[in-house]
Structure 1
Amino acid sequence: MNKLIGAGGQPHYGLFDGTPGLVNYRDFDFRSPMGRRLGALAKWRRFHQFQYFGLISDQLIGGCALANLSLAGIGFVYLFHPASGRMIERQFKLPLGMGTRFSQVPDEGVCELRQGRNLLRLENSPNPKEKRLLVELDDGTRIDACFSEDEPAFQPMSLCTPTAVNGWVYARKVAGVTCRGEVRSALGDFDLQAIGAFAHHDWSAGYMRPETFWNWACLSGEAQGLRVGVNLSCGVNETSFTENCFWIDGELIKVDCVRFAFDRDRPLEQWLITSNDGQVELRFTGTGLHKERLNLCFIASNFKQIFGRFDGVLRPHDRAPVSIDGLWGFVEDQYVKW
């Protein structure tokens, strides 16, 4: 598929074997809930895009996200050192996205944010298929991390779902891939390959619900000698299709709808995450969190990303169960108005 939006102005919906060459949102036949055609200004205002790169290991955990919300460009980055409990975190908010740029090509191009001597940059390369994170902060922190989807072969999750009465969301997810590169910071210097780091990645864009929420869970690591990744969500991307899946040695295994049971006032306490088809039964206990709260009337966010350990079992229908024993990962509890 060369373009996500077809000749009639409508998206291609469903689960895709490959990745669209271009998320050509300007070609979308965008209408009001009452059927009135909306112009270029409305298309710009309502289109949102974000990209996330996460790092997981026993010695270091990190995450970096960039978001284009039309009226604002937002970015954050953090590093957490499990042994000491120490953390570095920075947040950036740029009006009208000044100092940012976003490519609408999921497998190629650059998304970045610059503010002063701070740079957050996410690169997507097609040949070979690689994702790279580069962070340079004015306090001397530097992250240079990348992973490949070619060696060994990996099947990303790629789908487009209808959203609300007049929108859609495209998402491409990866988890359970080994990572290489280096991190230099006040927490120490780390060779990511030497410490056995894994990575996960999210590229999402579209006309999302103007007011929405989601819970999300992701883990990456090694279990029973297998490379394992998990991507589970509740609240978005569930109209006709779901993004829920896990990977075993790069093979994508789809999962039905999932339920998140947790105490919103105590996010570091136990979460129970189960799928309707019985393939996922996980417990998560938090160790630390990154949180943001923003309320500008026209844009609002109440965001918690909690990192900690997963236990439980994955039960693929066509192979032996895989036990998850203390693997590091993330969960999210997110409300957004945009």
Structure 2
Amino acid sequence: MATHEHEITEPVDLCLPDGRLNPAARGWSRQPLHRANLRGWGRTKRWEYWCVTTPTHLVALTVSDLDFLALNTVYVLEFGPEGREFERTSIVPGGHGVRLPEVIAGTVGSPAVVVGPQRPTGGKVRIEIRGKDGGTRLRARCLTPRPPQGARGTLGGEEAVETVEVDLFAALPVGHETLSVVVPWSGRRFQYTSKHTARPASGTVRIGGRVLEFGEDAWAVLDHGRGRWPRSVDWNWGAASGRTGGHTVGLQFGGSWTRGTGATENAICMDGRLTKIGEELEWRWSPTDFMAPWTITSAGERPAVDLTFTPFHNRSTRTDAGPIANRTDQCFGHYTGLVRDDEGREIAVDQLLGWAEDVHMRW
């Protein structure tokens, strides 16, 4: 389904003075150009999600302001049968002290962003996202339970804790293009999302006395979101970054939530140049076996996307707490197949590390 989306090339306000979607904001851009001037409550959601991967481990940081509460989360996964996985979340009732900007930290004219408690104590999570010359600095600190020796999986044993510290830099090379798009359900329900893939990353993650190095083959992905959402929604999201077929490639795919809006969040970034895919993709997976291979394809005899995703780990969460109910299956794995850029060049994708997820959210 072609969307015939309009490319935005000048800065624009997301909202009109009365809070409705600005018609001039509909479309997509190759760099963040929307000022997300959301006001007040009314199903307003703001978040930053960063995931930085290496061939052996990953770390994800989430800061979200959901109107009635805020969530700060640190997630770390070490791959392999002997690897470790943990997740620590701090819930902030009313979102007090969590302030997310109208524009992405690190872009021209953007203020520095500091979110989370000033001094992490107990089980609290502190996350800092600051713009720096040439990119974005990601820092986090929390305490996490220490697992029994030789244990695998989510850490247990609250009586024994260790400090986790994240200090990473996500570079944004000059000329590197990213995808920003407005998805409009209506004049009062809409989402502005800015998805960044294949941003070179470096730094360290310290878990107790161990240090995980993020270096030459580390890549950062950003999901920056600002909008006003329906009460209940389903979505798919897939992303991957790395070197394959002689190129640096970033994959960004969405599904389900954009249908019927005239917008998509599908794109390929090859060597820093973005190809916008103006059609809905066909997602296939098993809802009873998320570890089975997934496929993501586009239409036509020469499809822009023809990929198989093979998971090796499912980060599965279920929440049903008052106003929020969530079912998330975020599978990490590898993409194989082919994609084509807007010049018709075919790029082989071979074991590109990333994820694919299926989410139902009531919030």
Q: Judge same fold: TM > 0.5, yes or no.
A: yes
Q: Is the 8 A contact 2:88 2:125 kept in 1?
A: no
Question: 1:182 and 1:85 mapped to 2: Cα distance?
Answer: 17
Preserved CA contact (<8 Å) 1:81 1:187? no
How far, CA to CA, are the matches of 2:42 and 2:187 in structure 1?
17
Which residues of 2 match residues 263-274 of structure 1 at below 5 A?
263-274=286-297
Within 5 Å, which residues of 2 pair with 1:1-338? Answer: 1=11, 3-6=13-16, 9-11=20-22, 12-20=25-33, 22-26=35-39, 43-83=40-80, 84-106=82-104, 107=107, 108=110, 109-110=112-113, 112-114=115-117, 116=121, 118-125=124-131, 128-138=133-143, 139-149=162-172, 151-164=173-186, 166-185=188-207, 188-194=210-216, 196-238=217-259, 239-255=261-277, 256-276=279-299, 278-338=303-363
Alpha carbons of structure 1 residues 17 and 174: separation in structure 2 relative to 1, 3 Å: closer
Change in CA separation of 1:246 and 1:186 when aligned onto 2, cut-off 3 Å: farther
- The alpha carbon displacement at 1:74 in A equals 1.7
Flag structure 1 segments of 5+ consecutive residues without an equivalent.
27-42
Shift of the 90–258 alpha-carbon distance from structure 1 to 2, 3 Å rule, reads: same
Deviation at 1:48, TM superposition (A): 0.6
**Distance in 2 (alpha carbons) for counterparts of 1:111 and 1:260:** 37
1:85 and 1:262 mapped to 2: Cα distance?
26
Residue 47 of structure 1 deviates from its aligned partner by 0.5
Q: 2:206–2:212: 8 Å Cα contact kept in structure 1?
A: yes
Return the alpha-carbon distance in structure 1 between the equivalents of residues 206 and 332 of structure 2: 21
Q: Compared with structure 1, are the counterparts of its residues 100 and 7 closer, same or farther at alpha carbon in structure 2 (3 Å cutoff)?
A: closer
CA distance in 1, matches of 2:342, 2:21: 34
Per mean C-alpha deviation after superposition, the further-off stretch among 46-55 and 69-78 is 69-78
Task: Tell me if structure 1 keeps the 8 A contact 2:44–2:228.
Answer: yes
Q: Give the whole-Å Cα distance in 1 for the aligned partners of 2:27 and 2:116.
A: 31
3-state SS in 2 of match to 1:140: strand
Offset of 1:52 from its aligned partner? Answer: 0.6
TM-score, structure 1 normalization: 0.87
SS at 2:352's partner residue?
Answer: strand
Q: Give the match for residue 35 of structure 1.
A: none
Amino acid at match of 1:10: L
Matched residues in 1 for 2:280 and 2:94: separation? 36
What fraction of aligned residue pairs are identical, expressed as a percent?
Answer: 23
Deviation at 1:152, TM superposition (A): 4.5
TM-score, length basis structure 2: 0.81
In 2, Cα distance between equivalents of 1:296 and 1:81 = 29
RMSD (Å) for aligned C-alpha atoms: 2.2
Structure 2 counterpart of 1:291, one-letter code: S
SS in structure 1 at match of 2:41: helix
**Does the CA-based 8 Å contact 1:169-1:237 persist in structure 2?**
no
Q: State the partner residue of 1:30.
A: none
Looking at structure 2, the residues matched to 21 and 262 of structure 1 have their Cα atoms a distance apart, in angstroms, of 34
Quote how far apart the aligned CAs of 1:21 are: 5.8
Kindly tell me the number of residue pairs found equivalent between the two proteins.
319
